[in-house]
Amino acid sequence: MPRGIHIVIFLLAPAILASAVTARAQIDPASLPAHDAHQMLLIAANPYVSDEPSKTKFGKHTPYEGGILAVDVYFHNDNDSPIRINLDSVQLRVGEPHGARQKLDPLSAEEVANRILLRGDKEPTASRLPRPLPGEVPKSGRGKEWNEFDAVLRSAAMSSDVLPPHATTHGFFYFDIDRHFDWLSGATLDVSDLAFMTTKQTLFLFEIDLAPAVP
């Protein structure tokens, strides 16, 4: 390939990536009631807290049926520099009203599928909070239904850790809240460990109050 074509492709790559990422996000994140914005970055959250929208998004099986919160998180970058997102730093702070709140790490798609399709909910009234780390479920116990549900969860999950300049991306995070959807009026989604990729400058903590987004 001629050298000139290589240069053109290199220069166009960021713009092409930004267009592809933005195309995935059809909702204006600024229109979502639960959001936080500073340093020209906006992060918004759309929690799925009822059965109907959950089935519309995920199909026959949903995180909601297992007492797991699925929250679609939007990132909109108005800066001229790309931003690195540490997906492992995203946490949900939730607790009983007027009580102490605890920080929950997100579950993987595999953990969500295991809890709903393999382990069941033999004691729906028993508390799972705080919970131990989940054990490994033998792969021999999985089937077609598990594989299909896991694929749906993975395809919806937030996977990109790079947010191009002037672009929007989004994806789901899953949190086991033990069916305490009524606690979300006092919950926040915390996003830390964000940094501009060109300067390595870190961004301040984002705290998204979920109360405006829940009934």
Does residue 122 carry a pLDDT above 60? no
- pLDDT given at position 81: 97
Q: Could you tell me which of 190, 199, 161, 198 has the C-alpha nearest to residue 84? A: 161
- pLDDT given at position 7: 41
The answer to whether residues 152 and 171 touch, using CB atoms and an 8 Å cutoff, is: no
The answer to whether residues 35 and 42 touch, using CB atoms and an 8 Å cutoff, is: yes
The total of other beta-carbon atoms located within 10 Å of residue 98's CB is: 6
Does residue 18 carry a pLDDT above 50? no
The total of other beta-carbon atoms located within 10 Å of residue 93's CB is: 15
pLDDT in tens, 129-174: 544 444 455 554 589 999 999 999 999 999 999 999 999 999 999 9
pLDDT in tens, 21-74: 444 457 899 999 999 999 999 999 999 999 999 999 999 999 999 999 999 999
CATH tag, 3-213: 2.60.40.1470
